[in-house]
A and B are shown apart, each in its own frame.
Chain A
Amino acid sequence: MTAASITVSETPLVLYVLRRADDALVLGHRLSEWCGHAPMMEEDMAMANMGLDLLGQARELYGYAAKVEGKDNDEDKLAYLRDVRQYRNLLLLEQPNGDFARTMTRQFFYAAFSDLYWRAMMASRDTTLAAIAAKSEKESAYHLRHSSEWMVRLGDGTEESHRRAQLAVDDLWAFTGEMFAVDDSERGLIDAGIAIDPESLRTQWLATVARVIDEATLKLPANDWMQKGGRIGQHTEHLGHLLSELQSMQRTFPGATW
């Protein structure tokens, strides 16, 4: 690897936008890993389509973060030239695909959140974020419906699919709390009407999740201990591997284009 990492002046707004951009890029990349490997053709296309939606969201968000920062960085540098400790995504989204049940559970937990989140963000006083939200909200609705249907099909399917789906729910549950966490840098943006308070989405999120999980004959874990860290760059071991693949071309051949 030859291209050095960039530095980013993380003002509260830059950091806020970067966190959402990293969410979209990391989950989009995970979904793209299914390309050519999904259990059936239709799902292969669904994964690629949803990955593309997320990549599109990431591009808009990175572009805006670079603009707000007002330095030398652009969407490509932000995506390709930050190392793992500079990534700000939710831990949930960097978790490996595992089997199809695990991928769908990760997707479901997040889509149930992002659907509410983007809809609420359409009222942001930041017009760029509100515009990005209006597009992302429509896409999230499809992601939620797709993953909800899969949760039911897997949970209320065979003994084996039920077992795997329940295992995925149990394992990923501890990563869901981070979606609702707010730190000081975000508190100011919430007070200014630029960001929304994710805590205000929790009841509705839980209602959606509980309804689908129940219909899927699955159970939500009783434990409420939650793992955090992604928002401040403390990641699980999985993100480094993901980034080494995602960034290898630009790190090896800086500035390479098609």
Chain B
Amino acid sequence: MSLTAHDSDLRQRAWNAAAQVVDPEIPVLTIADLGVLRDVTVHDGEVEIAITPTYSGCPAMNMIAVEIEVALARAGFRKPKVRTVLSPAWTTDWMSDDGRRKLRDYGIAPPQAGSGRRALFGVEQVACPQCGSTDTETLSEFGSTSCKALWRCRSCREPFDYFKCH
């Protein structure tokens, strides 16, 4: 079945509406920045949004699903469906460059590309989002939410959240 011009237009409108929804725990990031928004499909005028969880137990997912429904209803879509997909598994590599910049401006160190998640003992090097120094240390692998670790800068002495690699 081919996508009609109408459906294609609807799909773009639905995507734009869903893409505005922000992560309730990091409100500077939209679900599009995060890569949580995976797909939008339109079938006979009915829209379905696919999202993927960052972490298995991420409690924000239920709220994000509700926010998407609200955003789509506001954009004039009736009975939008939100579906959770697990595969392929979410990775921090999907976070947009824009998202990384917003995260840093917000005071959270963005995930490091290609860092050693597989190392048995911690080896990551993370730049302080306040002063930029890489003279930093881990306080805890587990921070204020599932996706963050707690770090401290040895230069400016500020503790900070690090969005960990996944």
Contacts and interface: CB of A to CB of B under 8 A. Distances in A.
Interface in A37-60: 42-43, 45-46, 48-57, 59-60
A190 interface: no
A141 B116 CA distance: 11
A167 interface: no
Interface string A192-231: 0000000000000000100110000000000000000000
A127 B117 CA distance: 25
A52 B145 CA distance: 10
A4 B54 CA distance: 36
B166 to A, nearest CB: 5
Nearest to A40: B140
Contact of A148 (B89, B121, B139, B166): B121
Interface stretch (B3-11, B20-28, B33-41, B56-64): B56-64
Given A131-B89, A145-B122, A149-B121, A52 B143 contact: no
B57 A57 contact: yes
Interface in B118-155: 118-122, 139-146, 150
Contacts of A130: 87
Interface in B86-129: 86-90, 117-122
Interface residues of B, number: 28
A42 B57 contact: no
Contacts of B117: 138, 141-142
A124 B120 CA distance: 25
Given A52-B55, A139-B55, A139-B56, A132 B141 contact: no
Nearest to A115: B118
B146 A138 contact: no
A13 interface: no
A164 interface: no
Contacts of A49: 142-143, 145-146
Nearest to B86: A131
A134 B118 CA distance: 14
A128 B84 CA distance: 12
Contacts of B122: 145, 149
A136 interface: yes
Contacts of B58: 52, 56
Nearest to B54: A135
B53 interface: yes
A144 interface: yes
Contacts of A146: 141-142
Interface of B: 53, 55-59, 86-90, 117-122, 139-146, 150, 164, 166
B57 A54 contact: yes
Contacts of A152: 121
29 contacts: A43-B140, A45-B140, A45-B144, A46-B141, A52-B57, A52-B58, A53-B56, A56-B53, A56-B56, A56-B58, A60-B56, A131-B89, A134-B87, A134-B89, A135-B55, A135-B56, A135-B90, A138-B117, A138-B166, A139-B56, A142-B117, A144-B120, A145-B141, A146-B141, A146-B142, A152-B121, A208-B120, A211-B120, A212-B120
A127 B59 contact: no
The 9 closest A-B pairs by CB, nearest first: A56-B57, A56-B56, A42-B140, A131-B87, A52-B57, A46-B142, A134-B89, A131-B86, A49-B142
Given A131-B87, A132-B86, A135-B56, A53 B120 contact: no
